[in-house]
Chains A and B, each alone.
Chain A
Amino acid sequence: MPVYTFRIQRNQKNAQGTLESRYQEYTLELNETTTVLNALEELKGNQDGTLTFRQSCRSAICGSCAMKISGRTRLACKTHVGSVARDGVIELAPMANQPVLKDLVIDIGPFFRKVHQIKPYLEEGPEKATTVERSSYDQVNHVTQCIMCGCCYSDCTMKEVSEEFIGPAALAKAFRFVSDPREGQKTARLQELSEPGMMWSCTRCAMCIDSCPKDVKPMEAIVKLRTRGMQKGFVDGPGPRHALAFHQDIQKWGDLNEFTLLQRTVGILGSIAELGTALHLLKKGKIPSPFPHQAQGVEQLQKIYKLLEQNPIDVETKAKEVVPE
């Protein structure tokens, strides 16, 4: 059996309450399909009882054992050592973007406070429907697979630089309620989600899609939330204004008119605030032409746009039907 080296981040608070961090190495002879969690238990049981990590169900259902494994956040119970070893080394660290308590254990509190911010329960209200069509599950099924493990939150590139951002899991959860026919406050939810730090602050880096162990695809839910928010008229912000600029440009020019995009996205005052940056870009001629090149046959797009406005077609992705086993 191959020998694996586990390079584990050990974290401990000192007497002053500040976290002291160091790496400690352990070696184990393991089958390559052994899970990281089993390896950790072996280490704790036979090599170092002080090593601290969270675990519970061992079946990728509870989400407790999420941790950084070789650079990406994964569930230790679902990850084979052979799939994450780099030259025989597996690096383990606590989840990112959350306060560390000890070794691989983080305080999951801030993550859940973000989730609570979107009111993760059905609310009474004027938009409540009393019948639920089978097709309603098309949108809800994907996001209800979420186990709140926090992998997406830990790998989120916006969370890394923003305390305020609500994070992918909470937004996916919000989409679940916005899409539920029984929800009474769909529009009010979309209004709240249009505020700064909510759905428009996602960079669309798709990291959450790849790091989710349950295939929830949070970013896809965020894209759909934005569509629904704009459809309800919540278009007053740089995010929606920017998104809405594209379809006008594509019909008129074919290409994006980057010259006027800034002013249309952040307004006149915002553009003045950006002036310093604009002058900096100008130094290397990086200011676009106000008259972009016009593609051949853009009138085709004007016609397509009109046809779709007259007869809208549903193109939303739909979750696969879940059949009880």
Chain B
Amino acid sequence: MSLEFAYYPGCAAKQVQKEADWAARAVARELGITLHAMPQATCCGAVSLRESKPAFSLAVAARILSEAEAQGRHLATICNTCLQTLSHANYRFKNEPELLEKINSVIVQAGVRAYKASINVYHLLWVITDQVDPALLRQKIKKPLNGMRVAPFYGCHNLRPAEILVAKGGESADHLDRLIQLLGGAPVAYNGHDKCCGFHVMLSDATEMRTMVAKNCLSAKDAGAEVMISPCTLCDMAMGAYQKPAENAVGKEINLPEMNFAQLLGLAMGINPDTLGISRLHVDPSAALVARKVL
């Protein structure tokens, strides 16, 4: 099977969380996944655009999906919110042909190719755990995690609503757990694994957001986590970069290194930490990695 995807990293991976993009490209190369650029793709608009301009948000999604379709490829992303937004639109386009026709009739007037709803929206994590040969993945692991206790933080939009996602969603999702096991780590079971990182209320409900970050991290830490990983650039931002503000908000020390799943995967593959942008992490994972001989 040829693993070729139209690659849609999302706004955060192009700017503040670019290390996730670096890591995604590096691990994809090793695993024989080709990520093709989408030069016309714009921001997906997230739920915000669905709220402010519902019809425009579907047109934006159709234009993005159409670009991937014109390449003859499914789309793969590394942002959970992009995943949910594009999956939601795609689910509607596949199930509501009249809606697709209405949207197409508008976008073609602007010179956009009509979308035929023939492609799927994937997360790169799902591609790695469900489509890459596990034997190949195992063979690429040069620096196994040696039993490192890793907390999987799935992120809401990787899981819910389960009905719109093409992979196993909701409570049955186990992608991150399986990945951690493949890397030689021990997935930590903890209360926060399917909770919200608070990213989308970072500005409107700042204290609540920071409390969410603290609760999730502390529940992972209490369960023995040495490191936390997430498949989402926005969760990374919240759980990693905002961990210090969260500590300040709740008055408790957390100090739990958090990184993108592709960064930990890359480290286990023996890829140079600089290529993976490890130094851009707010909570330094070096000690945890050295303790398990990953670094």
A residues at B contact (CB < 8 Å): 71-72, 157-158, 160-162, 165, 200-201, 203-207, 209-210, 217, 223, 226-227, 230, 237-240, 242-247, 249-250, 253-256, 258, 262, 265-266, 270, 274, 276-277, 280-281, 283-289, 292-293, 295-298, 300-301, 303-305, 307-308, 312-317
Output the least CB separation between B119 and chain A (Å). 19
With the chains together, A300 CA to B66 CA distance in Å?
A: 13
Chain B 128-157, CB-CB to A under 8 Å as 1, else 0, gives 000000000000000000000000000011
Nearest B residue to A305 via CB reads: B56
Q: Residue A223 contacts which of B50, B160, B170 (CB distance < 8 angstroms)?
A: B50
Output the least CB separation between B47 and chain A (Å). 5
Contact A207 B110 (CB under 8 A): no
Contact B237 A286 (CB under 8 A): yes
Identify 4 new A-B residue pairs, CB closer than 8 A, beyond the known A210-B170, A243-B48, A280-B244. A204-B47, A230-B52, A283-B282, A286-B237
Chain B 255-294, CB-CB to A under 8 Å as 1, else 0, gives 0000000000000000000000001111000000000000
Nearest B residue to A209 via CB reads: B161
B200 within 8 A of A: yes
With the chains together, A315 CA to B62 CA distance in Å?
A: 13
B245 within 8 A of A: yes
A204: which B residues are within 8 A, CB to CB? 47, 156, 200
B51: which A residues are within 8 A, CB to CB? 223, 226-227, 230, 243
B65 within 8 A of A: no
CB within 8 Å of A: which of B189-235?
191, 195-196, 198, 200-201, 203-206, 208, 211-212, 215
B59: which A residues are within 8 A, CB to CB? 301, 304, 308
A301: which B residues are within 8 A, CB to CB? 42, 59-60, 63, 110
Output the least CB separation between A82 and chain B (Å). 14
Contact B14 A285 (CB under 8 A): no
Contact B161 A210 (CB under 8 A): yes
Contact B203 A255 (CB under 8 A): no
Output the least CB separation between B161 and chain A (Å). 4
Output the least CB separation between B49 and chain A (Å). 5
Contact A205 B196 (CB under 8 A): yes
Contact A292 B11 (CB under 8 A): yes
21 CB contacts below 8 A, A to B, read A162-B208, A201-B205, A205-B160, A205-B195, A207-B156, A227-B52, A239-B204, A240-B52, A243-B49, A250-B42, A254-B42, A255-B43, A258-B12, A280-B244, A292-B14, A296-B39, A300-B63, A307-B109, A308-B53, A313-B106, A315-B99
Which of B51, B195, B241, B245 has the largest number of chain A CB atoms within 10 A? Answer: B51
With the chains together, A321 CA to B17 CA distance in Å?
A: 45
A207: which B residues are within 8 A, CB to CB? 156, 160, 196
Contact B203 A157 (CB under 8 A): no
Contact B215 A161 (CB under 8 A): yes
A316: which B residues are within 8 A, CB to CB? 54
With the chains together, A148 CA to B111 CA distance in Å?
A: 48
Count, chain B residues at interface, CB 8 A: 69
Query: How many pairs of A and B residues are in contact by the CB < 8 Å rule?
Result: 206
Output the least CB separation between A139 and chain B (Å). 13
B78 within 8 A of A: no
Q: What 5 A-B pairs have minimum CB-CB distances, sorted nearest first?
A: A206-B160, A254-B42, A303-B110, A157-B196, A205-B196
Contact B43 A315 (CB under 8 A): no
Which of A72, A217, A289, A296 has the largest number of chain B CB atoms within 10 A? Answer: A296
With the chains together, A244 CA to B54 CA distance in Å?
A: 12
B15 within 8 A of A: yes
B99: which A residues are within 8 A, CB to CB? 315
B170: which A residues are within 8 A, CB to CB? 210
Output the least CB separation between A159 and chain B (Å). 10
B102 within 8 A of A: yes
With the chains together, A303 CA to B24 CA distance in Å?
A: 34
Contact B48 A246 (CB under 8 A): yes
Q: Residue B16 contacts which of A230, A286, A304, A317 (CB distance < 8 angstroms)?
A: A286
Chain B 153-189, CB-CB to A under 8 Å as 1, else 0, gives 0001101111000000011000000000000000000
Nearest B residue to A270 via CB reads: B203
Contact B40 A205 (CB under 8 A): no
A287: which B residues are within 8 A, CB to CB? 16
B31 within 8 A of A: no
A201: which B residues are within 8 A, CB to CB? 201, 204-205, 208
Output the least CB separation between B38 and chain A (Å). 9
Which of A226, A238, A239, A315 has the largest number of chain B CB atoms within 10 A? Answer: A315
